[in-house]
């Protein structure tokens, strides 16, 4: 009986140590080193990072210097629980291309130049008109593309002020 108790306590301790190891960002399976998670080899800054602009901070963290954490409706619950911004799905450079957990689409390239200059042709969906600043804001707040088609459910519908949107848009324009 005592042996089973010691063995059980050992396994619990080992499990807790393993979780702490993963959360600390150590090793290839760390919580901070997988696509879509903040931190790790994909270059997404970890907490405590000082961002050059409010737009960059919103892009990476979903937190505005003016208003704090941006609320959203719709989108994945894990984003609400763990935080994050555009970079979590669209990547550090805004190029997308990495599948999102439980998503049905691959996040697209959201660099400003790509949104306003390239028709997005998808083999499954028909091409849609180019984005404008107003249509980019509508995609962020209502989750629809320029044709009015709904974006994937993993795209949050952010509640973002005009000032914060302007800052974010300026950052999207800077992505190359």
pLDDT tens per residue across span 105-127: 889 899 999 999 866 555 555 67
Q: In whole angstroms, what separates CA 58 from the centre of its chain? A: 10
Give the chain's mean pLDDT.
Answer: 79
- pLDDT, one tens digit per residue, over 12-57 is 766 665 544 444 444 433 344 333 444 433 344 555 678 999 999 9
Instruction: Give yes or no for residue 136 having a pLDDT over 80.
Output: yes
pLDDT confidence of residue 77? 81
Helix, strand, coil % over all residues of the chain, rounded to 5: 40, 5, 55
Backbone angles phi, psi at 153, to 5 degrees: -60, -20
Report the alpha-carbon distance of residue 147 to residue 49 in Å, rounded: 37
Report the SS3 class of residue 8: helix
Instruction: Give yes or no for residue 163 having a pLDDT over 60.
Output: yes
Q: In whole angstroms, what separates CA 85 from the centre of its chain? A: 4
Percent of the chain with pLDDT over 90: 45
Per-residue pLDDT, averaged over 120-140, amounts to 80
Report the alpha-carbon distance of residue 109 to residue 116 in Å, rounded: 11
Q: Please, what is the Cα angle at 31 between 26 and 33, to 5 degrees?
A: 70
Q: Where are the domains of the chain?
A: 1-31, 34-174
pLDDT confidence of residue 33? 35
Per-residue pLDDT, averaged over 51-77, amounts to 93
pLDDT confidence of residue 6? 65
Per-residue pLDDT, averaged over 155-159, amounts to 94
* Higher-pLDDT residue of 44, 169: 169
> CB of 104 within 8 A of CB of 152?
yes
What pTM value is reported for the model?
Answer: 0.70
Mean pLDDT is highest, among 6-15, 44-53, 152-161, for: 152-161
Token pair 């795209």: residue: 155
């Amino acid at each position: 009986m005592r042996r089973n108790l010691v063995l059980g306590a050992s396994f619990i301790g080992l499990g807790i140590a393993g979780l702490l190891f993963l959360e600390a960002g150590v090793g290839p399976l760390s919580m901070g080193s997988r696509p879509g998670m903040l931190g790790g080899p994909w270059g997404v800054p970890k907490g405590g990072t000082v961002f050059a602009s409010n737009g960059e901070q919103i892009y990476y963290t979903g937190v505005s210097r003016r208003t704090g954490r941006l609320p959203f409706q719709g989108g994945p619950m894990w984003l609400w629980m763990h935080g994050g911004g555009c970079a979590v799905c669209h990547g550090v450079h805004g190029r997308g291309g990495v599948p999102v957990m439980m998503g049905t689409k691959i996040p697209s390239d959201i660099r400003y130049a790509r949104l306003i200059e390239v028709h997005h042709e998808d083999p499954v969906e028909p091409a849609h008109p180019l984005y404008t600043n107003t249509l980019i804001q509508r995609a962020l707040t209502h989750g629809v593309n320029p044709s009015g088609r709904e974006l994937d459910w993993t795209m949050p519908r952010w509640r973002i002020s005009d000032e914060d949107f302007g800052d974010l848009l300026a950052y999207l324009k800077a992505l190359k």
